[in-house]
Amino acid sequence: MKQVPHFPQAILPDDIDKWYFIEDKLKNIMHLYDFREIRTANIQPKSLYEKYFDVAGEYGRYTANDMLITLSDKDDLCLRPDGTISILNSAISKMAVSVPQKVFYMSEMYRRERETYRQFYQIGATILGSTNIISDVEMIHLSKRLLTSLGITDFSIEINSCGDACCNKKYLNALRDYILSNDELCPVCRELCEKSPQYIFKCTTPQCHNIAKMAPIPLDYLCVQCLNNFNDIKRLLSNLGTEFQIKPSLFIPFQNNTQFVFNISVADNADKDNSQKITIISGGRYDQLATDVTGNTLPAVGMTLDVDRLTQTMQSKGLYSEKNKDFSVCICTASKNMELLIVQIAQEIHNENINTVICYDNIAVDQINTIAQKRKCSVTLLFIENLIREGKVMLVTYDQNQNVIHQDKITISGIIENIIRIKKSTGK
């Protein structure tokens, strides 16, 4: 029998409020900084991603074919594996790239890892078209504010500079020479580091770990101009009171980073000595990648937020606050042939922009409160044949803890007026 691959699961209604919580907060912050949303297509040209995934896929261990989810053998199509490259590709034709553009995205990305098909959610922002260090610093401040708006305050910022394309090439050559001249190197690194020398930082064997510790660092290969740029950013951050540490080995795969890079991490709650950190946001400048993808000289700086790690952190810190449920009206009937009345009254309530929960099945009169209490409705309207003949319905009002405050017979013509009055009194 053919093995069924693992595939992504749906987000169910019980979990969706957590997603709304994050998305709503983050959208507000993005707008605060003048970023506008971009929604790139889920289906992308495969050839656009191949060369970057060949080099950077788990730092060179996997090829594009191992990681991209292709749609057919003959067409050049795959599911979007990365936010940054898809934005740059859109920039070629759809946006005026001559003026600075500030865009953000909240989208699913799709990648294959052996027999597993991954769909993960990425949130990111990019400033296209500016080399000004204000835009680099803005990325750090945007990232900080995104986290604090969600209640995460115990984060730390690490920064580094990888230099421009010229300095970075010198560094990578030096790194490669250093690694390959080492006799202790494990066989995997010996094979991979020729193409992707940064794989040494990913390797977990003890001997390679030691080799990585002593490896050359990009800062030692910066030209005067690149060094000045990094110093200017550091000075600006310090003057603004933004705390950071320099991490000399920091780089971000897939971005061919040039100049400034940063990481924002939080302590891992599961780790007892709190020495382990989880990186939630990474970002930096990628002028070279932007120029490469678009075919025009295009400076770009951006950040991406790992939503899976963010949601784990939010969960472990208990930061999701339960959404105060909107005012809603439960409509049920204990008698037959009430369909017309139910739909009419529901429409009138909707006209007032008030939510309804309609029970499709008849209920017994003594169950009048069960559904309203389960669905956290503020009010129940019950239609009973005897009362309807008198032109009346039963109205029950609840407090915040779903206890009955009031139960009364009211006229059908007074339903809307009564509901509006109760809604006002609850302040919802």
Residues that bind Zn ion (CB under 5 A): 163-164, 167, 186, 189, 203, 205, 208, 223, 226
Nearest CB to Zn ion, comparing residues 33 and 201: 201
Residue 193 C-beta: closest distance to Zn ion, Å: 8
Nearest CB to Zn ion, comparing residues 165 and 358: 165
Is 149 within 8 Å of 29 (Cβ atoms)? yes
Residue 28 C-beta: closest distance to Zn ion, Å: 38
Quick one: how many helices (H) and strands (E) in the chain? 15, 15
Nearest alpha carbon to residue 253 among 65, 45, 81, 41? 81
Residue 190 C-beta: closest distance to Zn ion, Å: 8
Q: How far apart are CA 128 and CA 299, in angstroms?
A: 6
Q: 22 vs 154, 157, 379, CA distance in Å?
A: 18, 21, 29
Q: 397 vs 356, 359, 381, CA distance in Å?
A: 14, 17, 9
Nearest CB to Zn ion, comparing residues 171 and 254: 171
Residue 192 C-beta: closest distance to Zn ion, Å: 8
Nearest CB to Zn ion, comparing residues 227 and 319: 227
Nearest CB to Zn ion, comparing residues 234 and 375: 234
Q: What is the DSSP string of 348-379?
A: HHHHTT-EEEE--S---GGGTTHHHHHTT-SE
List the Cα angle 197/199/203 in 5-degree steps.
Answer: 135
Within 129-202, residue ranges assigned H as helices are: 133-149, 165-180, 187-192
Nearest CB to Zn ion, comparing residues 211 and 377: 211
Residue 135 C-beta: closest distance to Zn ion, Å: 18
Residue 320 C-beta: closest distance to Zn ion, Å: 40
Residue 249 C-beta: closest distance to Zn ion, Å: 15
Q: How far apart are CA 140 and CA 302, in angstroms?
A: 9
Listed in sequence order, the residues at least 6 apart from 211 whose beta carbon sits closer than 8 Å to its beta carbon are 179, 182, 184, 185, 189, 200
DSSP code of 382?
Answer: E
Nearest CB to Zn ion, comparing residues 59 and 383: 59
CA atoms within 13 A on the CB side of 314: 21
Nearest CB to Zn ion, comparing residues 199 and 254: 199
Nearest alpha carbon to residue 342 among 377, 396, 382? 382
Residue 61 C-beta: closest distance to Zn ion, Å: 11
Q: Which long-range contacts (CB under 8 A, 24 or more apart) does 290-296 make?
A: 290/88, 290/91, 290/128, 292/256, 293/48, 293/85, 293/88, 293/89, 293/92, 294/88, 294/89, 294/91, 294/92, 294/97, 295/92, 296/92, 296/97
Nearest CB to Zn ion, comparing residues 142 and 186: 186
**Strand pairing of 155-161 and 260-267?**
antiparallel
Residue 164 C-beta: closest distance to Zn ion, Å: 4
Q: How far apart are CA 16 and CA 87, in angstroms?
A: 26
Is 230 within 8 Å of 126 (Cβ atoms)? no
Residue 297 C-beta: closest distance to Zn ion, Å: 16
Nearest CB to Zn ion, comparing residues 32 and 223: 223
**E strands of 163-276, at which residues?**
245-246, 260-267
Nearest CB to Zn ion, comparing residues 90 and 198: 198
Residue 220 C-beta: closest distance to Zn ion, Å: 12
Q: What one-letter code names the amino acid at 52?
A: Y
Nearest alpha carbon to residue 5 among 50, 63, 69, 58? 69
